[in-house]
Amino acid sequence: MKAILALLVPLWLFAVGFDLNDPKKIEVLRHFDIPASFLSDPYLHDIYAKKRRECTLNGFADSEENADIFIPMLSSLIAQSDLPSEFLFVAMAESRLRVGTSSSRGAAGLWQFMEQTGKLHGLHIDQYVDERRDHIKSTRAAIAYLSSLKKQFGKWYLALIAYNCGDGRLNRAIRKAGTTDLKVLADPKRSYIPPESRNYIRSVVALALLASDDVFLSQIQYDSAFTTAQENPIATVYLPEGEDIDRIAAVLEMPKKKLVKLNTHLKKGVTPPNEESYPVYIPKAKVDEFRQKYRTHALKGYFLMHRVKSGDTLSRLSSRYNISESAIMTENMIADENDLDTKRYLKIPVNRPSNKQVGFHKARKGETLASVATLYNLTIDQIKANNPFVSNTLKEGQEVKIDD
């Protein structure tokens, strides 16, 4: 019976196509601080086989275009850090490089940051931007976060587990298990860490192991993606407040869809107000063209964002915001009334008042406390502090105290 079992195990492993003595695979585990013996983990083999099938059918990323853009971008940023190169597969396990993906729990971006975690690591989130979806900033935040977890726990595989389930949850698991041994912590029968985290660490490792297989990579035409050093194809340019992605796409003579893919952090397609300059990403191949063609648009100093509703017309918007129809058309690159239907938001240029010179604001038709707060670069709470009895909806001509 023992002789039969001795034969069965190698045959099962061979059926999966997994060589326990492959030096490349052992090296991959070493980069995660995982002992070579973990290659015999049966659950790792199951996930490896699953990932192999998935990658054979769909590749490593959401699309070939995303792979061409984001694999070099991620690889180049990781190469500048202390993270092993295999940590590229953390982002792939998180999002498959889908730029617009969100989890059911609200995690977003290539690295699937939760809102609170993103803010803790310097990612700004407001009505205009969500920097969890900023591919460059979120990658740098993830690198910094993983590096800090490595310093805290001492092993890269522990940093990965903590990235998934939180450092507090991992600390409790280690105390309960009495060890940091991955085989013990990730044993489904003992349930020290959540099932999601057990699958997560194995998924990241499985993807890295697959990428070490040159034959497999050539079969699915990914051999150049992981085997050659590539330059980051994304360049950063700094644009003034209120600059529009539509206009930049027109300047660069490129499809807006491709530019939006690089700038999913801009919620409304414009750089945020009150930022003298803000990073926008363009293809590196377009940098020279951008330098030659781009000129700062003559904005009216400030802008409001208007959500287009049924029945909106240029005439009504002109009257409501006391701005000419032509200014609205120029600012939003629309040719006539019919183009309003293609816009979700319109940028309305207004003159920026100075808080030092203005004591009261006289409300125009349609203004609200929120729009006045935005106009003066204040919060609603700051406005209410000076106007405790003013409602959120303002009457035309009503005076609102702006400062003391």
Domain of 251?
A: 233-297
> 304 in a domain, yes or no?
no
> 107 in a domain, yes or no?
yes
For 361-404, the pLDDT digits (tens) are 778 777 788 877 776 667 777 787 777 777 888 888 788 877 65
In 3-state terms, what secondary structure has residue 277? coil
pLDDT of res. 122 = 94
Q: How far apart, in whole angstroms, are the C-alpha atoms of residue 70 and residue 99?
A: 10
Q: Are residues 222 and 239 in the same domain?
A: no
Residue located via tokens 């400062």: 403
For 316-353, the pLDDT digits (tens) are 888 877 777 877 887 777 777 777 776 677 878 765 44
Query: Pseudo-torsion of CA 95, 97, 102, 108, nearest 10°?
Result: 90
Ramachandran angles phi, psi of 389, nearest 5°: -110, 10
Average pLDDT over residues 146-173: 97
pLDDT-derived band at 272 (thresholds 50, 70, 90) equals confident
Token output for 17: 């196509």
Domain end point (choices 181, 197, 227): 227
Token output for 195: 């099932």
Average pLDDT over residues 152-159: 98
pLDDT of res. 3 = 40
State yes or no: pLDDT of 42 exceeds 50.
Answer: yes
Whichever domain contains 396, its CATH number is: 3.10.350.10
Q: Are residues 59 and 127 in the same domain?
A: yes
> 345 in a domain, yes or no?
no
pLDDT of res. 12 = 39
pLDDT of res. 342 = 66
pLDDT-derived band at 273 (thresholds 50, 70, 90) equals confident
pLDDT of res. 302 = 59
pLDDT of res. 200 = 97
In 3-state terms, what secondary structure has residue 121? coil
pLDDT of res. 7 = 37
Q: How far apart, in whole angstroms, are the C-alpha atoms of residue 25 and residue 8?
A: 22
State yes or no: pLDDT of 6 exceeds 60.
Answer: no
> 315 in a domain, yes or no?
no
Q: How far apart, in whole angstroms, are the C-alpha atoms of residue 374 and residue 273?
A: 9
Counting residues of the chain whose pLDDT is more than 70, the rounded percentage is 89
Of 306 and 147, the one with more pLDDT? 147
Counting residues of the chain whose pLDDT is more than 90, the rounded percentage is 53
Of 12 and 131, the one with more pLDDT? 131
Q: How far apart, in whole angstroms, are the C-alpha atoms of residue 353 and residue 374?
A: 11
**Domain tally, the chain:** 3
Of 147 and 239, the one with more pLDDT? 147
pLDDT of res. 350 = 65
Domain end point (choices 227, 252, 280): 227
Domain end point (choices 297, 322, 340): 297
Average pLDDT over residues 11-37: 80
Q: Are residues 126 and 213 in the same domain?
A: yes
Q: Are residues 73 and 198 in the same domain?
A: yes
Average pLDDT over residues 241-245: 86
User: DSSP assignment, residue 220?
Assistant: T
Token output for 155: 């092993």
Average pLDDT over residues 77-100: 94
Ranges 39-48, 68-77, 339-348: which has the least confidence: 339-348
Average pLDDT over residues 171-189: 96
> 94 in a domain, yes or no?
yes
pLDDT-derived band at 297 (thresholds 50, 70, 90) equals low
Whichever domain contains 108, its CATH number is: 1.10.530.10
pLDDT of res. 360 = 75
Q: Are residues 223 and 237 in the same domain?
A: no
Q: Are residues 212 and 115 in the same domain?
A: yes
Q: Are residues 54 and 12 in the same domain?
A: yes
State yes or no: pLDDT of 187 exceeds 90.
Answer: yes
Q: How far apart, in whole angstroms, are the C-alpha atoms of residue 375 and residue 52?
A: 54
pLDDT-derived band at 152 (thresholds 50, 70, 90) equals very high
Q: Are residues 156 and 260 in the same domain?
A: no
Between the alpha carbon of residue 153 and those of residues 34, 121, 275, 323, the distances in Å are 14, 18, 38, 58
> 326 in a domain, yes or no?
no
> 55 in a domain, yes or no?
yes
Residues 6+ apart with CB under 8 A from 97: 60, 61, 62, 66, 67, 70, 71, 91, 110
For 213-231, the pLDDT digits (tens) are 988 898 888 877 777 777 8
Q: Are residues 180 and 125 in the same domain?
A: yes
Q: Are residues 58 and 117 in the same domain?
A: yes
Output the pTM of the full model.
Answer: 0.73
State yes or no: pLDDT of 175 exceeds 80.
Answer: yes
> 81 in a domain, yes or no?
yes
Token output for 278: 């803000």
Q: How many C-beta atoms surround the C-beta of residue 83 within 10 A?
A: 21
Q: Are residues 119 and 247 in the same domain?
A: no
CA torsion sign, 248 to 137 to 227 to 91? negative
State yes or no: pLDDT of 8 exceeds 80.
Answer: no
pLDDT of res. 388 = 72
Q: Are residues 172 and 279 in the same domain?
A: no
